[in-house]
Every structure is written in C-alpha cells, then in structure tokens.
Amino acid sequence: MDARTAEPLLEISGLKTYFKTDDGTVRAVDGVDLAIGRGEVLGVVGESGCGKSVTAHTVLKLIQMPPGKINDGRILWQGRDLVPLDLEEMRKIRSKEIAIIFQEPMTSLNPVYTVGEQIAEVVREHEHASRREALDRAVEMLRLVQIPTPERRVHDYPHQFSGGMRQRVMIAMALSCNPKLLIADEPTTALDVTIQAQILDLLGEMKERFGMAIMLITHDMGVVAETAQRVVVMYAGRVVEEASVEELFDRPLHPYTQGLIRSIPRVDRAADQRARLEAISGTVPSLLDPPPGCRFAARCKFATAACTQAAPDLREVEPGHKVACILY
C-alpha cells in the first residue's frame, strides 16, 4: 500500500527530544519527520549516535524525563497526538498498540522471572486475562517464534536461553497482544551473523502472520536492503533522506547516504578487498549544542560555505524521495 496517500499509522513531525546535562543541552533528536503506513516495514538507518534509539524511545515516551524532554513536534498515532498524553494513557498504548524490542537481548529480560511470566504479564495487563489464559498465550507465542518444547521452556529463566533465543522471547513478548506497530531497535546488532539472519527471517514471518507494521532501526545498510520497503536515513538527530528501498539504492542523493551505501561489505568481492571498505571518514559530531548549518558539512566532500549557514530542509525532490541537502 502507499503510505503517503492513506492516513499513516504513525506520523512524526518536527520532533525534538533534548537532554539537559551538566555540559549543556544534547539535541539528540532535532526535528525528525517520518511516517509509517499500516503493515509497512520502514527502515531507519544511520551510524551509532544519530538519534535513532532516542526517536524510538520518544514514540513510547520511554525517555527518562528529566533529563530528557520532548521540546517540540507531534507524534500522531492513528491521527491522535501522543505528545500531550499522560502516563496512564500511554500505558494503554505500550505493547497493546505499539511494541518495542531492543538491541541487547541478554539484558532486556528480567533475570529473576521465568520467560513465561514475563510474557504472561503483558497479556494480563492489557487483556485482563487470567493467569492460566495468559500462560497459555505465552506457550503459544513461544511456539510461534519457534522455540522448541515451549510448554517446558515457558518455565525457564532468561539465563537458560542463548542470545538469539532471548531475542525470540522478546519478539514473542512484544507481539503477544497483537500490536499494530513493532519498533525493532537494532534487534540483530548484538547477535552472531547466522543468528542475525534467522531473527530477520522470523520478523518477516511474524509480519506475514500478524500483519503489523515494523519500524526497523539499524546501522547496517545490508539489513535495510533485505527487509525494508521504505528507508529513512538519519544523521546527527535529523532525517537527511527518505525514499523507497529500490530508489535509495539506485539513486542515493545525500552524500551521507552515498557514503553508507559505498561502505556496505559485498560478498562478491574478495575478503582482502572487503576489509578495505570505503567507510565515511570522520565521526558523528557531538549533539551537544551543535552549530547551525548542515551537520554533515565537516565530513562532506561537496560542502561549501553556504552549507554552514542554515540547515537545509527535508524537501521532496521527486515523488516519494526526500532529501535535505543544498545540492538538490
């Protein structure tokens, strides 16, 4: 379906999340716009420290406030703004409508409760199910994420599972109340390569079955290429480019996107060549009181004096393809 014509499921506009620290204000998310349609898989890419996790946490208001604060913007969930909602109202949305899984499966589960209890807890919270019903649902969910002998494993503690298996448990937990959107914040980053592929496959299968939309956050362009329909590229707290996957890989416009694509390891090249990837030189700048202008300027080979004057807006240069760079 086309996310731009129908009303999107989630529409973030002008979102700013800042952290007050002793050294100054960290503008972790500084004017982010993005939208996700029903059942769509949106990839959100960018190097580490670009504000991807803060964006994801802000949607569910999981940011620690203070020091964090949503300074501006709207988060429209099916047309309703989440920013002004209080904790009680947010609780009804968490897991029930929007669920999230995290990067570190080893630490995302509470070590002192069985995985069954941790899944059942969500079901009891949102569906007022009895203990028995909730535990049955936990077994069923564990079966769906392909954990062998789920009726036995449901009574096991997290330390009895491997990293990949724990991420499956997290997915089971996240989907147990059939949410309309799953935010997956680097779900495979902490896992071995073979396990990564299995988890991505599982996410695909779960999407087939439950039909939820997925916001797949990653720093790995390869993961995006395999799973997403549309991609948002983030850099230093802002969206710098947005396009469909095909369009983005065929015609990357933003110099940062071009750099990211060039740095994808390619299996068809020899190992010694792969080691010499064309990585983008330099690092993500500090988001502590950043200077005006394009934040990529320090690393951009096309940068001109104009680039440091004012930040370029995200503009639609072709149908469905937006970019924030003065070159376009």
Ligand X SMILES: Nc1ncnc2c1ncn2[C@@H]1O[C@H](COP(=O)(O)OP(=O)(O)O)[C@@H](O)[C@H]1O
**Where do contacts with ligand X occur on this chain (CB under 6 A)?**
19, 21, 26, 28, 46, 48-54, 64, 67-68, 287
**Beta-sheet strands, E only, within 50-97:** 68-77, 80-81
The bridge status of strand 230-235 relative to strand 238-244 is antiparallel
Q: Which is nearer to ligand X, 27 or 137 (CB)?
A: 27
On whether the CB atoms of residues 52 and 234 are closer than 8 A, the answer is yes
Per-residue interface string for the shown chain with ligand SF4, residues 248-267, x marking contact by CB under 6 A: ------xx------------
What is the rounded CA–CA span in Å between residue 79 and residue 75? 9
Q: Which is nearer to ligand X, 10 or 138 (CB)?
A: 10
The piece of 87-95, 192-200, 211-219, 259-267 that touches another protein (CB under 8 A) is 87-95
* 294 lies in the binding site for ligand SF4 (CB under 6 A): yes
Q: Which is nearer to ligand X, 154 or 183 (CB)?
A: 183
Which of the choices Mg ion, another protein, ligand SF4, none does residue 53 contact, using the CB cut-off of 5 to 8 A by kind? Answer: Mg ion
Q: How many residues bind another protein (CB under 8 A)?
A: 29
Q: How many residues bind Mg ion (CB under 5 A)?
A: 1
Q: Which is nearer to another protein, 45 or 98 (CB)?
A: 98
Q: What is the DSSP string of 191-234?
A: S-HHHHHHHHHHHHHHHHHH--EEEEEES-HHHHHHH-SEEEEE
Q: Which is nearer to Mg ion, 114 or 227 (CB)?
A: 227
Q: Which is nearer to ligand SF4, 76 or 303 (CB)?
A: 303
* 155 lies in the binding site for another protein (CB under 8 A): no
Question: Contact with Mg ion (CB under 5 A): which of 9, 31, 50, 53?
Answer: 53
- Tokens linked to 301: 């080979």
* 91 lies in the binding site for another protein (CB under 8 A): yes
**Residue 8: CB minimum distance to ligand SF4, A:** 27
**Beta-sheet strands, E only, within 2-95:** 10-21, 24-36, 41-45, 68-77, 80-81
Instruction: Give bridge partners of residue 44 from the DSSP assignment.
Output: 217, 232
- Tokens linked to 133: 């019903």
Which of the choices ligand SF4, ligand X, another protein, none does residue 17 contact, using the CB cut-off of 5 to 8 A by kind? Answer: none
Can the peptide bond before residue 66 be classed as cis, meaning omega within 30 degrees of 0?
yes
Length of the chain equals 328
Question: Contact with another protein (CB under 8 A): which of 26, 29, 60, 203?
Answer: 60
Long-range contacts from 300-309, C-beta under 8 angstroms, 24+ separation: 300/255, 300/256, 301/255, 302/255, 302/327
What is the rounded CA–CA span in Å between residue 119 and residue 133? 12
Q: Which is nearer to ligand X, 149 or 263 (CB)?
A: 263
On whether the CB atoms of residues 178 and 143 are closer than 8 A, the answer is no
On whether the CB atoms of residues 60 and 94 are closer than 8 A, the answer is yes
**Residue 33: CB minimum distance to ligand SF4, A:** 17
* 28 lies in the binding site for another protein (CB under 8 A): no
Binding positions for Mg ion, rule: CB under 5 A: 53
Binding positions for another protein, rule: CB under 8 A: 57, 60, 62, 87, 90-96, 99-100, 102, 104, 107-112, 121-122, 125-126, 157, 159, 170, 173
